[in-house]
A = this chain, B = another copy of it.
Amino acid sequence: MPKVSDAHLAARRDQILAAAARCFARDGFHRTSMQDIVRESGISAGLVYRYFAGKDDMIVAIVTEWHDQRRAPFRADDLIGNYLGLLRSIGDPGRRDDLRLGVQVWAEALRSSQILDLVRSGADGPRADAARALHGMTDLDPDALARVFVAIYQGLVLQTAWDETVDNAAVVDAVAAIVARLLPDSAGEELQ
């Protein structure tokens, strides 16, 4: 009976992960010490290790969660609308830490094949979906075009992480206009 509820366990885990995410977003993975996370989470060092085998394990958990939250777009039927919505969400002030964390994850993927696999599995699927959808909508290479759209997303994340004053709406409008000219047929039905 001292065994606490699963909800409590899950909440604790989230508490640690949230604190870790804040730390990682602020200082990067390898300038964040476990003590930092302990302080930020208000949970003792020993307990953190009951939830995560170590720092690396926590990083993997963070990245996994990060990607789980970002799966939706690129998939649905309203591809372009979803994409533009995704771009728009980059401008949400509440997502600042999210963007920063994302950039740290990108860098970490270059060091850790495990992280790279997570990042790729989160990006390759949607990109392939997008490429498939682009078939027939344009005479340009659909795979290349999908890469370009992903690149725009990534670059905008980066620029916004660096500088929150980026005029997101203007960029989204520009991208929408580009899309409209590249895929004129889709404009009527798919643009929001």
Q: What per-residue 1/0 map shows which CB atoms of A36-63 lie under 8 Å from chain B? A: 0000000000100000000000000000
A86 close to chain B: CB less than 8 A:
no
Asked if B162 contacts A144 (CB within 8 A), the reply is no
Give bound CA distance, A60 to B107, whole Å: 18
Asked if A103 contacts B107 (CB within 8 A), the reply is yes
Give bound CA distance, A167 to B178, whole Å: 22
Q: Provide the residues of chain B in CB contact with A72, threshold 8 Å.
A: none
Q: Provide the residues of chain B in CB contact with A100, threshold 8 Å.
A: 110
Given contacts A31-B30, A145-B174, A148-B152, contact A107 B109 (CB under 8 A): no
Q: Provide the residues of chain B in CB contact with A154, threshold 8 Å.
A: 151, 154-155, 158-159
Given contacts A103-B107, A106-B103, A182-B178, contact A151 B141 (CB under 8 A): no
Majority secondary structure, A binding face: helix
Partner of A28, one of B108, B151, B161: B108
Q: Provide the residues of chain B in CB contact with A177, threshold 8 Å.
A: 140
Given contacts A151-B155, A151-B158, A156-B151, contact A144 B120 (CB under 8 A): no
Closest chain B CB from A109 CB (angstroms): 6
A15 close to chain B: CB less than 8 A:
no
Give bound CA distance, A100 to B110, whole Å: 7
Asked if A174 contacts B148 (CB within 8 A), the reply is yes
Partner of A110, one of B109, B152, B162: B162
Closest chain B CB from A182 CB (angstroms): 6
Task: List 11 additional A-B contacts (Cβ < 8 Å) besides A148-B152, A148-B155, A151-B156.
Answer: A2-B46, A26-B111, A29-B30, A30-B31, A106-B106, A109-B162, A110-B162, A144-B170, A151-B153, A151-B155, A155-B155
